[in-house]
Amino acid sequence: MQIKPVLHADPLTLNHEYQAAEPFPHIVMDNLFDNDLLEKVRDVFPRPDGMEWRRFDNPEEKKLGFWHTCDIDPFLYDFLQAMNAPYMLGFLEQLTGIEGLIPDPYFGGAGLHQILPGGFLKVHVDFNVHPKLILDRRLNMLVYLNRDWQEEWGGQLELWNRDVSRCYEKILPVFNRTVIFNTSDSSYHGHPHPLRCPQGESRKSLSFYYYTNGRPEDERSESHSTLFTKTPNE
């Protein structure tokens, strides 16, 4: 089955809002996708014991991640592929102003993410070069799948400024909320506080990373892995 989601936003009219956002270019969009489509995605999203998750459990991150070789439901697989399709790249290029976006067929570090009670992801900047494709990482897109998510459960995505002195925004990971943001050595983000949702609940998201062959001179740095940092209250 081929999926081509309808995108309920005009990227060109949102370009200025995206570029002007603080602390780095980003946007939060509710209902970008049809609810019915994401309900189907959510229905086939694997449980914590439903596939061979990539498991992280260390002082910086406690979460379940994705291998591109994982055996997942065909509908979910088709949705992942749709987010790498040319029309999606065109939408993102118009929204962000970043030309020549390249998707990652390996979903390195991306794909399915799931956080269980007590899990977290400390504030960080992302790795900046794809280790296999040797391309520059430029853009993240996160799609949340959490129905009836309660604010007191936590799990907010936090966006921090360049010197990690101030959190500019906290984004609740509610169903059909999409967050798109530039990735650079100053785009600090994470959800550093342990998740407080009840047992049996989890924070479910899909993530997509996009690359270019080269990047602006003022964003260049040596190749590095994910760089974690402490916030003032840590």
pLDDT at position 1:
58
DSSP-assigned beta bridge partners for residue 129 = 136
Closest by Cα among 102, 34, 41, 99 to 72: 41
Residue-by-residue pLDDT tens, the chain, 234 positions: 578 999 999 999 999 999 999 999 999 999 999 999 999 999 999 999 999 999 999 999 999 999 888 899 999 999 999 999 999 999 999 999 999 999 999 999 999 999 999 999 999 999 999 999 999 999 999 999 999 999 999 999 999 999 999 999 999 999 999 999 999 999 999 999 999 999 999 999 999 999 999 999 999 999 999 999 999 988
Output the 3-class SS for the chain. Answer: CCCCCCCCCCHHHHHHHHHHCCCCCEEEEECCCCHHHHHHHHHCCCCCCCCCCEEEECCCEEEEECCCCCCCCHHHHHHHHHCCCHHHHHHHHHHHCCCCCEECCCCCCCEEEEECCCCEEEEEECCCECCCCCCEEEEEEEEECCCCCCHHHCCCEEEECCCCCCEEEEECCCCCEEEEEECCCCCEEEECCCCCCCCCCCEEEEEEEEEECCCCHHHCCCCCCCEECCCCCC
The total number of residues shown for the chain amounts to: 234
Domains, the chain, in order of start with CATH, read: 11-228 (2.60.120.620)
Cβ–Cβ under 8 Å, residues 156 and 191: yes
Both tokens of 7, joined, read: 């995108």
Dmax (CA) for the chain in angstroms is 48
Is it true that the peptide bond before 5 is cis, omega within 30 degrees of 0? Answer: no
